[in-house]
Amino acid sequence: MPKKHTPSYAQTKPSYVHPSLQSSRASSSSAPSEPQTVNQRIQQLRREQAPRATPEQRDEFTSVVSRTVPPELRRILHIPEVNAPKPKAGTRTRRVLGAARPPPGPAAPSSWLQNSRHAPAYLRKRKQAGVEHAAPRFSTLARATDDEFKRLPPPRSLVHQTLRTFAIHWAELCEYEQHYLPALPIPLKEALLSYLTIFGAQGCLDLKSLKILFQNDEGTGTSSWDETRFLDLSGLLNEHFTISDVGKCLKRPTITQPALDLGALHISERKPHTAKEAATVEVADSWEEEVEETPTNPPALAATLQIPHFTNLSRLSLANPGQWASWPELIRISPHLSKITHLSLAYWPRPSMTPNATTTSMVSKHTSVALGGSHFYSDLDDDWHEAANILRRFSINTYSLQWLDLEGCTWLKALTWRSVSLPTTTSPPRRQNPSESWQIHAVSPSPDWNDAWRRIAYLNVFQGWIPCDNQSLQSMPAGVVPVQLMRWLRENKEKEDVRWKLNAGETGYAVAEWVQREKVSRAVGMEIHGIRKSGQGVWCTVDYGWGSAAGERVSS
């Protein structure tokens, strides 16, 4: 048999040797190595200095190679599909016959579609979840004033971001920019106070900073504090800025008499007040010298900040006072509130002149007497005599009120409370002359809605939150309020302007208490309507915070 032919391959050894191995190989081999040429040495250095491929470069190379794999082999080898390459810039895609023509020009940026109905699904879900930056929740009076005067800027504007930054850094702003703050227009000053209520630090406002903001800078030609119409002090009361300080700004400024020209008086008429001043008086040698010295040496006046007097103030918000709420101080400054037409007393405590003596009583051998005007069990005994009396005194001085905010207040019964022990009329006593009969009419200790507060056309008695737990509402006894509330929640629960009022965390007993307080506020509203109707007064809109009719009768 002939032998099989075996091909012979010429095996060449690599000429490149790493420098670290040259010495060992040279020592092991007996044959001397040939010297490298210049070109070989340059190629060797290029190979040594060339950077190695990174993992990203290898992945990119692999992805490029995988695109060339046919579809059949791709399925067999389980290689994932690769997206089609993007069209080159400047090329025009062919439109499918019968399809809608796309809008001309480039695609709109994604930021333009955030507030549009054509926004992507993830943006709509984020907006529904409240992740987007919403407008800050100002006080009720601030929102009502903005609807009328448009003082607050849009939430995504540059003015909004600037006022927000001012409020966050209010302490540094008053220290280093106190000479420029008076140059702000009056609308921006009012808006800045509203921003302090939300973004300002705790206790950031005091009487000094209020003076700096509203000081009358005549040199720059800015408006004075007399043009201010609205002060939003919601949550700004603190240790350094109390209701007494607010009263100082509301007092009428005293008119001072102009000082006499001392230069026109005879020198003999100038009498120093003390002996020390008499020793320091220098007598001029002649009248000409005295006249020349007088204008060249004017008296030095100390630079002080005047207390602003808001003479045209008509809207005031004292909501959320916290522990700094004081009815005695409010009654003390009430004579200066005669021009106020819109007032907010949201979340104020029960009216009392001695709030610290509620649980204090004096015990004797025969009985115990409460030291305060209201005792600890006044709510259980339905005793609102002190609270009604304080509100009546307050209403006499605030006779210009047209808008009153009592959101979150739990003492609404004091608005229309009458003592049961006081009879409405008494029978005429027996006298010798029957024609001289007389009657005694009982005076209600609560405010008179047909006299002092006859101008109030809006009253807010919203409790501050609305329960939305349907299980707690369904488990309650049958009543009009739970049924109306469930119907209202079914129709308005998904609205954006209502979502902030809902509270799903309160259940059970808290919901029952809410319903009971809602019945009390409905009864108070109906009684106010009855008083106005009997006195032929104007209609008063009672706002309960949700879409129920004002004055609607509620049965238990």
User: What pLDDT digit, counting tens, does each position of 440-476 carry?
Assistant: 445 568 899 998 999 999 999 999 999 988 888 888 8
Instruction: Output the pTM of the full model.
Output: 0.66
Query: Whose CA is closest to 327, among 374, 279, 378, 268?
Result: 374
Concatenating the DSSP letter of every residue in 292-304 gives HHHHHSPPP----
Q: Which residue has the tokens 């000094």?
A: 208
- Per residue in 156-193, pLDDT (tens digit) is 899 999 999 999 999 999 999 988 898 899 999 999 99
Q: Distance (Å, rounded) from C-alpha 171 to C-alpha 160?
A: 19
pLDDT band at 32 (very low <50, low <70, confident <90, very high): low
Write out the two tokens for 165. Answer: 């930054």
Q: Which residue has the tokens 């007064």?
A: 537
pLDDT greater than 80 at residue 274: no
**Is the pLDDT higher at 341 or at 472?**
341
The proportion of the chain whose per-residue pLDDT surpasses 70, expressed as a percent, equals: 69
459's enclosing H/E stretch is strand 458-460
pLDDT band at 237 (very low <50, low <70, confident <90, very high): very high
Q: Distance (Å, rounded) from C-alpha 273 to C-alpha 550?
A: 69
Length of the chain: 556
Q: Distance (Å, rounded) from C-alpha 347 to C-alpha 49?
A: 77
Q: Distance (Å, rounded) from C-alpha 500 to C-alpha 466?
A: 9
- What is the overall mean pLDDT for the chain? 78
Is beta strand 541-543 parallel, antiparallel or unpaired with respect to 458-460?
A: parallel
Q: What is the pLDDT of residue 17?
A: 61
329, amino acid identity: E
Helix (H/G/I), strand (E/B), else coil: 315: strand
* Contact present, 387 and 352 (Cβ < 8 Å): yes
Q: Distance (Å, rounded) from C-alpha 485 to C-alpha 489?
A: 6
Write out the two tokens for 199. Answer: 């973004």
The proportion of the chain whose per-residue pLDDT surpasses 90, expressed as a percent, equals: 34
* Contact present, 442 and 422 (Cβ < 8 Å): yes
Stretch among 4-8, 135-139, 270-274 having the lowest mean pLDDT: 270-274
Q: Which residue has the tokens 């003015």?
A: 159
pLDDT greater than 50 at residue 222: no
- Mean per-residue pLDDT for 153-157? 88
